[in-house]
Amino acid sequence: MRSASVVCCVLLALILSACRRTAPPASPPPAPPPGMVYIPGGKTKIGATDGLPQEQPVFTADVKPFFLDVHPVTVAQFREFVDATGYRTQAEEFGDSAVFDFDTGEWSLVNGADWRHPFGPDKPAAADDHPVTQVSWNDAMAYCNWAGKRLPTEVEWEHAARNARNGGPQYPWGNELVIDGKYMANAWQGSFPDLNTAADGYMATSPVGAYGASPLGLTDLGGNVWEWTADWFRPYANRDQPFMPGKNSKKATRGGSFLCDPVVCHGYRVSGRSDSTPETGMCHTGFRCARDIP
């Protein structure tokens, strides 16, 4: 009996050894296209129990791996698209677009405001390395299609902002806006909308990447500009219900902007949400693109 047991043990050891030898090594993540980052898949918590009602109820989503642009599309990148296609934005077609007046603290439609001059034709032109603004959701879709990409979903955007973790801090970089005396995002300082001290160095948009990168290598996920997503803006409680958009339906935006402060908006948290109609352009709204992994 003992010899039979020894034989069985030897056979089991040989089988286990063979399995170890033949087990395929873990595949490395695919190399992202230029200007993009690989976002690992997984489960991620969406929303916040201590956030605004539109961020509740919190739910868990399964996210497939995907690629995401390192930063929002810049003015220079959008110009390349326009030069290649002759595309005209909706703001150009309408002849005006939404502009925030820092002196009055009010919004208004300004004639001639577009992606080249987001605050109006009598204001400085947009810098090439800043996020493009005054682009509608439809404009963003047109650019992404031209680039062979797409807009990220809300869940994908938040998953990336959470660094592909199920949970994490309220911002992509941690729980404080200022760390060791350095601002981590381009947001509003002072009392909104009456006083913007621009203590972070910028009154309006800032160059992409000016505040550093997240652990995944993404920049401008908090502040600078709100970013269009693919989804219609809906209560999370209704996310699994049938939906037919109407003329007043809005698209979801993420990330906050240079106009967000922690009292009135605080939209630069990873769970922060806002919305706008798909044809609307604004001086604090841009986008970045995603791409599926083949």
pLDDT at residue number 19: 42
For the chain, residues with pLDDT lower than 50 are 1-23
Residues β-bridged to residue 292: 66
Report the alpha-carbon angle 207-75-190, nearest 5.
40
- Six token digits for residue 41: 């898949």
User: What's the pLDDT tens digit per position in 204-262?
Assistant: 999 999 999 999 999 999 999 999 999 999 999 999 999 999 999 999 999 999 999 99
pLDDT at residue number 27: 78
The residues, any chain, with a CB within 8 Å of residue 83's CB and separated by 6 or more, are none
pLDDT at residue number 2: 42
In angstroms and rounded to an integer, the radius of gyration of the C-alpha atoms of the chain is 23
pLDDT at residue number 24: 55
- Cα–Cα distances (Å) from 7 to 3, 12, 73, 228, in that order, read 6, 9, 66, 65
- CB atoms near residue 26 (< 10 Å): 6
User: What's the pLDDT tens digit per position in 237-253?
Assistant: 999 999 999 999 999 99
pTM, two decimals, is 0.91
pLDDT at residue number 25: 60
Which alpha helices (DSSP H) does the chain contain, by range?
2-22, 75-85, 90-94, 137-146, 154-161
Q: Which CATH superfamily is domain 35-292 in?
A: paralog of FGE (formylglycine-generating enzyme) (3.90.1580.10)
Report the run of H or E that residue 276 belongs to, with start and end.
strand 273-276
pLDDT at residue number 92: 98
User: Are the CB atoms for 249 and 234 separated by under 8 Å?
Assistant: no
d(CA 138, CA 146): 12
SS (H, E, C) 149-198: CECCCHHHHHHHHCCCCCCCCCECCECCCEECCEECCECCCEECCCEECC
- Cα–Cα distances (Å) from 100 to 112, 115, 256, 284, in that order, read 14, 14, 15, 9
User: Domain residues of the chain, as ranges?
Assistant: 35-292
Going by C-alpha positions, the residue among 89, 83, 73 that lies closest to residue 129 is 73
Going by C-alpha positions, the residue among 154, 151, 157, 135 that lies closest to residue 278 is 135
User: What's the pLDDT tens digit per position in 87-110?
Assistant: 999 999 999 999 999 999 999 999
pLDDT at residue number 28: 84
pLDDT at residue number 17: 47
The identity of residue 252, as a single letter, is A
d(CA 255, CA 237): 21
- Six token digits for residue 267: 């939209």
